[in-house]
Amino acid sequence: MILDSNLLENLKKSMPSKKEEAWKYTSLTEFKNTAWHFKSDIQTHLTHDQLHQLAQHLPSDFHNVVFVNGDLNQTLSDDLGSDLEIQKVIAEDLVVAENHVEEKVIKFANACLKDKIVIKIPENKIFEKPLHLVFVAIEKVPYFLSQKVEVEVGSRAHLSLLTQSINIDETTQNGFNLNLNLIVKEKAHVKLIQIQNENSKSYHFSQTEIDVLSDAVVMAFTMTVGGLLSRHYMHLNFAGQHADAGVYGLNALNTDQHADHYTFIQHSIGANNSKQVYKSVLAGAAHSVFRGRVRIEQDAQKANSEQLNNNLLLTREAQADSIPQLEIYADDVKAGHGSTVGQLDKDQIFYFLSRGINQYEAVKMLSFGYAQELIFQFENKSIQNWLLKIIHQKLDRMVNNV
């Protein structure tokens, strides 16, 4: 469907502005001024060259499921049988809570939503390979794509879920919204990795909402290397006891890229542990924003929460904003936060220079060492290698221009 121009204009006007506290550091003015096109009913086909280019993003040791302009591509996708379904959206899928932080963005995205992806992992099932969802835009015009994903991981099941959004054409401006709802049942183990790797002209929005039940273990990681502007919202709610959640993020940004992360860790029930670590490597006039909100409810005794945001600036023009928020309504809890903004140590760079390593390689190696710590949180070697390759390529491009 293609939206009526008047409806589109009204939707744009209703988008958030910097007057709203949650969007204080992120402007959508240029996004609103773009003449966006929306999904039509015409099936899009990839050329041979596009198929070859896209295949390079599909590791053989992953279960790859590829969506091109919102449509499942059977040629590039692995068959997952009944574990994955494509369903039409119903009225209930479009309901958004009025007090939702991302209410306006989601309503805009829902206006062009047609399908939803539903993944149900049965209890006790263990996925040996990571499940890799790839969302590709190939339109030649400014194109806004919205995807909704619902995932339910059964009790004692194990799943590594990876999502990646990319462009085939590096010259086209695209907009992308991913709305992901994840339920992690009792004693399940889930690793969620989201990669934003779109071109330097694109806009990316994501809303990830996770419910964690008793004795479950969740690791969530967001890596942002592409896009002109990206906004990532993460809400993780503890709905049971004795669960553990690690929420991590890594930005590698240069030129005028802007990435805004808003995390909301909600301890609705006590005796749970949460940890947040977000890092940024910034060059050019890049700008990162981290707003980390932790809320420990009155009955959530014995909750334990840590939060850390570190930012490495490679240029004077780069900028980082960090806004920690702790809302504690229980007495017997542990909670803390920290934030740093700094540059590379000149003595460390001198050390490399004194041993015959040029400044370019020194900066690259130090930046890579700073970033890779988060990647090694994941023990799976195929995931590690995939993430390290992406961040290595991005840092190589960044340091070349420092």
> Cβ–Cβ contacts within 10 Å for residue 285, how many?
16
Token pair, residue 195, equals 């990669």
Token pair, residue 358, equals 């040029």
Crossing angle, helix 381-400 and helix 359-375, to 10 degrees?
150
Please give the DSSP secondary-structure letter assigned to residue 93: G
Rounded (5°) CA angle 377-381-384: 50
**Beta strands 258-267 and 334-342, pairing class:** unpaired
Those residues whose C-beta lies under 8 Å from the C-beta of residue 20, and which sit 6 or more positions away, are: none
| Pairwise CA distance, residues 116 & 93, whole Å | 9
The H or E element that residue 368 is part of is helix 359-375
The H or E element that residue 190 is part of is strand 189-196
CB–CB of 198/165 below 8 Å? yes
Q: What is the per-residue pLDDT for 1?
A: 47
Q: Is the pLDDT of residue 11 over 90?
A: no
Rounded (5°) CA angle 375-178-39: 140
pLDDT (tens digit per residue) in 335-380: 999 999 998 888 888 888 888 888 888 888 999 999 999 999 888 9
pLDDT (tens digit per residue) in 207-228: 999 999 999 999 999 999 999 9
Q: Is the pLDDT of residue 385 over 50?
A: yes
pLDDT (tens digit per residue) in 169-194: 777 889 999 999 999 999 999 999 99
Look at 26-35, 178-187, 265-274 and tell me which has the smallest mean pLDDT: 26-35
Q: What is the per-residue pLDDT for 98?
A: 85
Those residues whose C-beta lies under 8 Å from the C-beta of residue 335, and which sit 6 or more positions away, are: 294, 296, 303, 304, 305, 306, 326, 328
CB–CB of 185/210 below 8 Å? no
Query: Within its chain, how far is the Cα of 170 from the centroid?
Result: 20
Length of the chain: 402
Q: Is the pLDDT of residue 260 over 80?
A: yes
pLDDT (tens digit per residue) in 221-257: 999 999 999 999 999 999 999 999 999 999 999 999 9
- Give me the chain's average pLDDT, please: 91
CB–CB of 161/193 below 8 Å? yes
Q: Is the pLDDT of residue 26 over 50?
A: yes
Q: Is the pLDDT of residue 43 over 60?
A: no
- Nearest 5°: phi and psi at 242? 60, 35
DSSP code per residue over 258-313: EEEEEEEEEESSSS-EEEEEEEEEE-TT-EEEEEEEEEE-TT-TT-EEEEEEEEEE
pLDDT band at 44 (very low <50, low <70, confident <90, very high): low
Q: What is the per-residue pLDDT for 16?
A: 94
- pTM for this prediction: 0.94
Candidates 289, 275, 402; CA nearest to 337 is 275
Pick 42 or 144 by higher pLDDT: 144
Please give the DSSP secondary-structure letter assigned to residue 243: -
